[in-house]
Structure formats: structure tokens, C-alpha cells
Amino acid sequence: MVTHTKMSMKHHHRGLELSASKSFVSKKLTFFLCIGFFCAGTLFSDRMWPEPEANVVSREASDERLHLVSDDCDSSKKSLKLESKDSLGEAYKSPDAIQTLDKTISTLEMELVAARAAQESIMNGSPVSDDFKLPETATRRKYLMVVGVNTAFSSRKRRDSVRATWMPPGEDRKKLEEEKGIIMRFVIGHSATPGGILDRAIQAEESKHGDFLRLDHVEGYLELSAKTKSYFTTAYALWDADFYVKVDDDVHVNIATLGAELARYRMKPRVYIGCMKSGPVLAQKGVRYHEPEYWKFGEEGNKYFRHATGQLYAISRELASYISINQNVLHKYVNEDVSLGSWFLGLDVEHVDDRRLCCGTTDCEWKAQAGNMCVASFDWSCSGICRSADRMKDVHRRCGEGPNALLAASF
């Protein structure tokens, strides 16, 4: 039994030696394998990474080339800036070049407006008026002002009183256009039944006098805001003028004085001239000048913003262009003078309050005698000359500037 025990202890000791030997071998093998894999990995890396290094080099070269191109662009920009500054400097020194550029821009803008107006007429199914056929660019000239006299179908006697006093007739009016650059027309649309007796009567009057500007507009007292918008759009499309004037047919106007007054503001790009007022917003129905949208102006009893009274006002060319371009989105209030004033809110517009544009028929005479000639005269109580068809000649005799004023005028 002792012998058996000794033998088993020997076997156990040898087993331990073998396992220790195996463990030792496996550790050594693992160590050498690690070294081998490390070396193999190093060799593998050395063989595989040259290509990315080449990319890095090419990237650096590309960046360098881009930098050079950027430098070239910068130098080109600087050169172009210097050249443009030199060119602009030369242009600023040449008034003729500036005038030529201004005329070109003006012509293009008006041709665009005319094309839009013609397109709208076609889309609405209306015939395109011959007035929209613009003359050739080479023959288009610049005017001082377009005076549109707002009139109605029932105002034949008023128109005749204006023709007999402050609006030159026939050839004299054409001469005024050619020599002084002043366009004068009665402004009217058409009736609710185009081609009816009212339209035929205006057509017969036009054939005799040739002093109408017909609008693509249905006449009506509650449509005066739309008519005003249509007038400025149409006049701007037809004539390249510094100013566009709207006046009622029951107001007396001294044209030479008006032209001299407007000429003072020729260098102002956006000017709005008239007798500025701020009347109450009338919320009560049934009263004259009732404002259906009174709630937009705040609490009851509030006043309107400043705007020119509707008997006569003038706007510069740039404002007429603004109305033409934005006509489809300009809101129309029931009172046309309020509408016009609202269109200029938020714009950089100079408001000129000129009281010579709204003299009374009782004080225009002594003002004329004192050398302070009025531009326009009317009775505030009637929003025009009371019984103007009968009294226009008398007002013209007392307050008119004289028959030779227009011939001697220089604007």
C-alpha cells in the first residue's frame, strides 16, 4: 500500500511538471506570436499607407492652387473695382451720360407698365386701346407734367367752361405740349354699358376737341379711388413726365404758375404736393364722406393721416411708377384722396403742404393783385367752385394769370 502511494505521488508530480511545462510553452509561444503579428502589422502598414500620403500631398497641392486662384480672383476683383470706380467717376463727370442712362431706364419702365396694362386688358376681355401703342424709343420725349382733369358724363358744361378759360383749345394745346412739355386731358372711363349713349356722346366730344384720356374703368362716384389709380397708371404708361397732376373739373387752375411751382421740386425723387389736411373719420352712415372702414382708424372721433385734399394734387414720376407697378395690391378707400395718401404711408415720400393749391374764390383776387398768384382756386363749401359752369369765367377774370403767362413761362 505504501508502495502504491509512492507511485501515485510520483505520477502526480510528473503531471504538475508537464502542465507547468505546457503553460510555460504556451506563454512563450503567445509572446513570440505577438511579436510576429506586430512585425507583420508594421510591414503591412508600410506597404498600404503610401497612397493616402500621396493624396495628402495632392490635397496640399490642390489647396495651394486654390489659394493661388483665390489670390488671382482677389486681384481681379480689386482691378475690376478700380476700373468700375474709374468708369463711375467718368460717368459722374458726364451729365450727358447720366441723362442718357436715366432716359433709357425711364423708357424701359414705361414700356413694362404699358405691356402689363395691355396684358391685363386682354385678360379681362377688353380691347387694347391705341393709346397703349407707345411711340418708338427714339421719338419719345420728356414732359414737365401731365394734367388730368377728372370729369364725368354729366359734366359737359363744366368741361366747356374749362376750355373757355384755363385749358388752351386745339392747336394751342398741342403747341403747349411741344414747346412747354405740358399735357392736358379730361380723364374719363366708360359707362356700365360700353358703347351706349353716354360713351357715344363722349366719343363725339372727343372727335371735336381731341382732349380726352379714356380709361379702362367703369365710371361711378364710389369708384373714384379706382379711377385715380387707373389714371396714374395710364398716364405714366403714355407720357414720360416729371409730375402727374389730378384736378377736378370745377376748379380754376393757373397752368403757368402750377408749372413753375412743380419745377422747383424736379430734383426730388418722391414728392407728394397738395394742400395737406387731416379730417375726421366719419363713421355715421348717410353723411357725406362716410368712411365704411372707419374701424381701421382706431377709436371713434379719430382723424385721418395727413393727405392732400382731392381738388388738386401732384405726384412725382417715381410715385406714379410705384402706383403703376403695385396697382393690384393697393387698397382703395371710398374717398380717393384718402386712398392716395394711404398708398404712400411707409414710403420715403416728401409731403409738400402748399396752400397756393387751395385758394378761395374770394381771396385769390387780392392775392393776385399782391403778386402772390394762386395755383388753384375753389370754394371749400362746395368742394369746388360753386356753380362752376356759370362762374368759371368770372373767377378766371379775377384770379387768372393772364393770356400771355404760358407763352412767357420757362420751366
pLDDT given for residue 300 in this prediction: 84
Strand order in the sheet with 240-248: 212-218, 182-190, 142-150, 240-248, 307-316, 271-277, 350-353
pLDDT in tens, 293-347: 999 999 888 999 999 999 999 999 999 999 999 999 999 999 999 999 999 999 9
pLDDT at 411: 85
CB-based contacts of 183, cutoff 8 Å, min separation 6: 143, 145, 146, 147, 177, 235, 239, 241
Range with the poorest average pLDDT among 72-76, 91-95, 107-111, 196-200: 72-76
Report the distance separating Cα 294 and Cα 333, nearest Å: 10
Say if CB 313 and CB 150 are below 8 A apart. no
- The predicted pLDDT at position 289 comes to 87
- Round to whole Å and give the CA distance between 161 and 11: 147
The share of the chain scoring above pLDDT 90, in percent, equals 57
Q: Mean per-residue pLDDT for 155-179?
A: 95
Residue 113: pLDDT band (50, 70, 90) is: low
Please tell me the predicted confidence (pLDDT) of residue 408.
86
Average of per-residue pLDDT across 103-129: 55
Give the mean model confidence (pLDDT) for residues 359-388.
95
| Cα(327)–Cα(80) distance, integer angstroms | 40
**Other CB atoms within 10 A of residue 21 CB:** 10
- CA distances 224 to 51, 86, 197, 228, Å, are 81, 51, 22, 6
pTM: 0.69
Query: Is residue 292 predicted with pLDDT exceeding 90?
Result: yes
Q: What's the full length of the chain, in residues?
A: 411
> Average of pLDDT values for 75-101?
51
pLDDT score, position 323: 97
CA proximity to 266, closest of 242, 232, 241, 236 = 242
Q: Work out the percent of the chain whose per-residue pLDDT is above 70.
A: 66
Confidence of residue 402 (pLDDT cuts 50, 70, 90): confident
Q: CB–CB of 272/350 below 8 Å?
A: yes
CA distance 147 to 378: 17
Q: Which pLDDT score is estimated for 91? A: 46
Contact 145, 314 (CB under 8 A): yes
* Least confident range of 50-54, 106-110, 114-118, 393-397: 50-54
pLDDT in tens, 216-260: 999 988 899 999 999 999 999 999 999 999 999 999 999 999 999
Q: What is the pLDDT, as a whole number, of residue 109?
A: 62
| Pairwise CA distance, residues 395 & 166, whole Å | 10
Q: Using CA atoms, how far apart are residues 393 and 399, in angstroms rounded to an integer?
A: 10
Tell me the torsion sign for CA atoms 274, 390, 395, 383: negative
pLDDT at 57: 40
At residue 120, the pLDDT reads: 57
Q: What is the mean pLDDT of residues 103-113?
A: 61
The rounded mean pLDDT for the chain is 80
| Maximal C-alpha separation, the chain | 164
pLDDT, one tens digit per residue, over 181-192 is 999 999 999 999
Return the C-alpha cell found at 154.
354729366
Please check the confidence at residue 169 and state whether its pLDDT lies above 60.
yes
Among residues 164, 246, 143, which one has the least CA distance to residue 209? 164
Give CA torsion, residues 388, 391, 394, 396, to 10 deg.
10
Lowest mean pLDDT among 1-5, 201-205, 390-394: 1-5
Burial 333-370 (b: 16+ CB within 10 A, else e): bbbbbbbbbbbbeeeebeebebebbbbebeebbebbee
What is d(CA 220, CA 84) in angstroms, rounded to the nearest whole number? 54
> In angstroms, rounded to a whole number, what is the distance separating the alpha carbons of residues 306 and 318?
20
Distance CA 308, CA 223 (A): 18
More confident residue, 13 or 156: 156
**Which whole number is the average pLDDT over 77-97?**
49
Q: Which of 245, 221, 190 is nearest to 335 (CA)?
A: 221
Pairing outcome for strands 142-150 and 240-248: parallel
Residue 59: pLDDT over 90: no
Question: Is the separation of the CB atoms in 351 and 272 below 8 Å?
Answer: yes
pLDDT at position 281 over 70: yes
pLDDT, greater one: 100 or 369: 369
- Mean pLDDT confidence for 72-84: 46
* CA dist 277 → 22, 306, 368, 377 (Å): 113, 5, 24, 16
Does 15 have pLDDT greater than 70? no
d(CA 35, CA 14): 32
